[in-house]
Amino acid sequence: MKYVLFDVDGTLIDAVSNQRRVWGTWAARYGLDADEVYQVALRTRPMETFAQVAADRDPDECLALLHELEDEDVRSGVYAAFDGASELLHSLKPGAWALVTSNYEHRVRGRFLRTGLPVPDVIVDAAAVEKGKPSPVPYLQAAARLGAEPGDCLVIEDAPSGVRSGLRAGMTVWGVNAAVAVEGVHRHFVTLREAVPHILACLPGPQRAAAL
């Protein structure tokens, strides 16, 4: 492998409590059950969530409120990077890695600033592609922007949709931060920390800024 492409939420940043809080506040604004809304949101993209839980509401209005709440959470919420994330990212050469996220770049940058993680040159976010995960498009775009062949890319993911996206892009996919392996991953690690030395070991020396 010559390049590493990372998912963000659930892979590098632990945002579960933040996401639950944001969706809980969103649900309360519409008088909906917070737990039910969150369970749907875990499985679907926002517009699909709105169609299921608030079909009588204007989806654009629903999305605008969600964006407002998420932006406020980036400014005031408490975030934590998963153990090993900082060490791993600081050990990679610029141009050897990218972020591929279903979120938006300004939120990713805000969260990375809050957690002290370095930001790469390439970030493929929700605004960069018409088709998000599990389509292969996000990961293929990241590879293209790095000047990489898909077969030279290692994808690090935690979620089924992201794993499918990486596999469909023709890349090697490793799963992290899950007790049980996501179907299709080439290797599985219960935590990101466990994966760090293996990720660095599979990269050629010029792509590593420092040894562990």
Residue 83 annotated as catalytic: no
CA-based max dimension of the chain = 56
Q: Which of 7, 14, 73, 125 is catalytic?
A: 7
In sign, the C-alpha dihedral spanning 185, 187, 191, 195 is: negative
Residue 7 annotated as catalytic: yes
Closest among 150, 170, 38 to 98, alpha carbons compared: 150
Q: What is the DSSP string of 173-190?
A: EEE-S-SSPPTT-SEE-S
Of the CA atoms within 13 Å of residue 111, those in its CB half-sphere come to 27
Q: Which of 9, 14, 73, 158 is catalytic?
A: 9
Sequence-ordered list of residues with C-beta below 8 angstroms from that of 17, at least 6 positions apart, any chain: none
Q: Which residues are catalytic?
A: 7, 9
